[in-house]
Amino acid sequence: MTTVLDPTNEATPPEIERALRPESLAGLTVGLLDISKPRGNVFLDRVEERLTALGSSVKRYRKPTFAKPAPVDMRHEIATECDAVIEALAD
């Protein structure tokens, strides 16, 4: 029998429950996160129109660069200000 050393990080990721899916977006605040890729704004402008028509209020956010993860402060801001978030990839 061979015993070896585990090459992985040995971490067990914590299980985090997903937020409940809202029944409707009417009256909720929806964050739209633009990751700063070309034409992400085109997509999100249209999404904003549709959401506004549904009675949502929309807040827009934009990552400083698509090449790096969203800064932790921005993630916290979205989590505290919004009931739901939509992230745009684009190109």
Partner 1 sequence: MVTTPLLPPGLVAFVKRDCETCKLVDPLLGELAKDEPLTVYTQDDASFPESLAAIDDLALEMSWHHDIETVPTLIRVGADGIEEQRIVGWSRDQWQAFTGNIELGITLPEFRPGCGSLSVDPSRADKLNARMGGSGLETRRVEFAELEDDFEAMFDRGWSDGLPLVPPTEARVMRMLEGTTRAANDIVANVAPDLVDVTVEKIAVNALMAGCKPEYLPVVIAAVEAICTDEFNIHGLLATTMSVGPVFVVNGPIRKQLGMNSGINVFGQGNRANLTIGRAVQLVVRNVGGGRPGDVDRAAQGSPAKIGLAFPEDEEGTPWISLAEERGMGAGQNAITALCVEGPRLIVDQLSRTPESLTNTIAECLLTTHSKRMVAGIDALLVLSPEHMARYVDAGWDRARFRSELEDRLMIDTDEIIRGTGGIEEGLPADFAGMQLPKFRPGGLHIAHAGGPAGLFSSVFAGWVSGPTGSVPVTKPILP
The phi and psi torsions of 5 (rounded to 5 degrees) equal -95, 135
The residue among 28 and 90 lying less far from partner 1, judged by its C-beta, is 90
Q: Which residue has the tokens 């209020």?
A: 57
Is residue 71 within the footprint of partner 1 (CB under 8 A)? Answer: no
Q: And the tokens for 49?
A: 């129109």
Among 22, 45, 65, 81, binds partner 1 (CB under 8 A): 65
Considering beta carbons, is residue 23 or 91 the nearer one to partner 1? 91
| 21 near partner 1, rule: CB under 8 A | no
Give which of 31, 40, 48, 36 is closest to 86, Cα–Cα: 31
Q: Does 72 bind partner 1 (CB under 8 A)?
A: no
